[in-house]
Amino acid sequence: MAKSALRKITMAVLAPAMAVGATVGLASAPASAAVWNSCDQWGNTSLNGYTLYNNIWGSGAGSQCIWANSGTNWGVWANHPNTGGIKSYPNSKKVINKTIASLGSLTSSYNVTVPSAGAYNTSYDIWDTDYDHEIMLWVNYNGAVGPIGTSQGTVSLGGHTWNVYRGSNGANNVYSFLRTSDSNSGNVDIKPILNWIASKGWMSSSETIGDVQFGYEITSSSGGLDFNTNNLTVSSS
């Protein structure tokens, strides 16, 4: 399910203005030592060229803490109630700042460990620099979650087969690609997906891709659940 305009702007530069009740819960970070951890609503840091965000943006959220050994090895403990609506999108972000046409390549690999309970998706969230277009790639999902918009059929792109949805959340266009079967690890060639969107006329190839985010869009995780990013890479040329 695509996010409201609020979540897309929960970046570090806006955190002071939005951090009413900035600490959500007092749950502990993992027992193993981490380079960084935070239970703050908008907690964020930069590590190894990636920016990590705790990003508890939805209403009715519970407790959530993020920890990181690096920008590519990190995890989240979340205890959000069993109610509807997305509560958070903890993620690691890599800035690209290249037009679709000028990108020689844009690839990523992921390896995650996710719970069998709860309602969530594990997803890439890719934005243009104006935040007019949002491309979501769901590599796995569980529980009562679903994309915004209407079905556009099934396509095989970037090494995966996806069910595609197109819609709007009222603030930006949303293109959601849901993998036809769950995957906890793999490689994604993102550039062909961007080219395909441009070929449909939904988005211009002159659009500049700003952020490639990867994380967990959590609706519910009652009792406390762990989401672990064992490894993540995002590379462009």
Specify the pTM: 0.87
Domain of 34?
5-236
Token pair of 9 as six digits: 């702007």
Residue 183 is part of a domain; what is its CATH number?
2.60.120.180
| Number of domains into which the chain is organized | 1
Check residue 24 and give its pLDDT: 40
Q: Please give the Cα distance from 219 to 144 (Å, whole number).
A: 8
Q: Are 90 and 108 in contact (CB under 8 A)?
A: no
User: Which residue positions in the chain have pLDDT lower than 70?
Assistant: 1-33
What 3-state DSSP class applies to 237? coil
User: For residues 64 and 24, is the Cβ–Cβ distance under 8 A?
Assistant: yes
> What confidence tens digit (pLDDT) does each residue in 5-53 have?
344 433 333 333 333 333 344 444 454 569 999 999 999 999 999 999 9
Share of the chain above pLDDT 70, in %: 86
Please state, in angstroms and rounded to a whole number, the distance separating the CA atoms of residues 89 and 215.
6
Alpha-helix runs per DSSP H in the chain: 5-8, 15-18, 190-199
What separation in angstroms does the CA of 185 have from each of 35, 76, 90, 124, 230? Answer: 24, 17, 18, 13, 9
| Coil, helix or strand at residue 63 | strand
| Amino acid, single-letter form, for residue 43 | G
Task: Identify the pLDDT of residue 53.
Answer: 98
pLDDT value for 205: 96
pLDDT for the residue 32: 55
Reference 218, options 94, 120, 117, 116; nearest CA is 120
pLDDT at position 20, please? Answer: 31
pLDDT of res. 93: 98
Where are the strands (E) in 54-116, listed by range?
A: 63-70, 73-79, 91-99, 106-113
**15 SS3 class:** helix
Please give the pLDDT value at position 21.
34
